[in-house]
């Protein structure tokens, strides 16, 4: 049984379920050299990893409610340009955007839409975020989306080599205004 992601729309984006036909885009984008050091994805990233993500992880996450994942598209039938997800256990969001689509504010738009939906759907008061220390793009999205920087400490995720690299952490307080907060490392 497949549980589709609820469609979320913004001014420039259509967020829906990642599907098997997205496999080539996922594999291509996840081969970005930045991802080797900034993400816990398998490396080198292969088509079989994209297939597992799209065929098992995404639908399984929606079915259990443990991890909710959306594809970012610029139109209803458009190609996948990125992914955003929320993990219930950690209460945090994570995201990535294909290199050709960065720097346009698209991920910030997606983060706002997803966090508003999550807050409403699950009556959340806070949503967490983290990234490997030095990930300026992720920091920019979190800051512009209204997250507050809460410090540096090891990541909650285990990387491919078994380590927990230093990471920057933040929190979105749902009731607070969506403004940029001071104190970010970048």
Q: Total structural domains in the chain?
A: 1
pLDDT tens-digit profile of 125-180? 999 999 999 999 999 999 999 999 999 999 988 888 889 999 999 999 999 999 99
Q: What is the CATH number of the domain that holds 143?
A: 3.40.630.30
Within 8 A by CB and 6+ apart from 171, the residues are: 126, 127, 128, 129, 147, 148, 150
CB-CB contact of 42 with 27 (8 Å): no
pLDDT at 41 over 90: no
Q: What is the mean pLDDT of residues 18-27?
A: 97
Examine residue 184 and state whether it is found in any structural domain, yes or no: no
Examine residue 23 and state whether it is found in any structural domain, yes or no: yes
pLDDT at 11 over 80: yes
What residues make up the domain containing 129? Answer: 8-173
pLDDT tens-digit profile of 107-131? 999 999 999 999 999 999 999 999 9
Rounded (10°) angle between helices 106-122 and 136-144 = 50
Examine residue 183 and state whether it is found in any structural domain, yes or no: no
Q: What is the mean pLDDT of the chain?
A: 95
Q: What is the mean pLDDT of residues 86-115?
A: 97
- pLDDT for 2: 61
Examine residue 186 and state whether it is found in any structural domain, yes or no: no
pLDDT at 1 over 80: no
| CA 79/CA 70 separation, integer angstroms | 13
Examine residue 32 and state whether it is found in any structural domain, yes or no: yes
């Amino acid at each position: 049984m497949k549980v589709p992601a609820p469609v979320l729309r913004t001014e420039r984006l259509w967020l829906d379920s990642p599907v098997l036909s997205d496999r080539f885009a996922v594999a291509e984008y996840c081969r970005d050299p930045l991802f080797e050091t900034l993400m816990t994805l398998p490396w080198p990233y292969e088509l079989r990893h994209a297939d597992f993500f799209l065929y098992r992880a995404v639908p399984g996450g929606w079915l259990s409610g443990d991890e909710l994942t959306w594809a970012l598209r610029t139109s209803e039938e458009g190609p996948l340009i990125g992914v955003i997800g929320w993990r219930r256990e950690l209460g945090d969001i994570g995201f990535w955007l294909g290199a050709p689509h960065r720097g346009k504010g698209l991920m910030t738009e997606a983060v706002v839409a997803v966090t508003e939906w999550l807050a409403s759907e699950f009556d959340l008061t806070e949503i967490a975020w983290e990234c490997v220390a030095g990930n300026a793009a992720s920091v920019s999205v979190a800051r512009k989306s209204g997250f507050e920087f809460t410090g540096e400490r090891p990541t909650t995720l285990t990387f491919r080599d078994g380590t927990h690299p230093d990471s920057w952490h933040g929190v979105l307080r749902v009731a607070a205004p969506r403004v940029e907060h001071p104190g970010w490392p970048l």
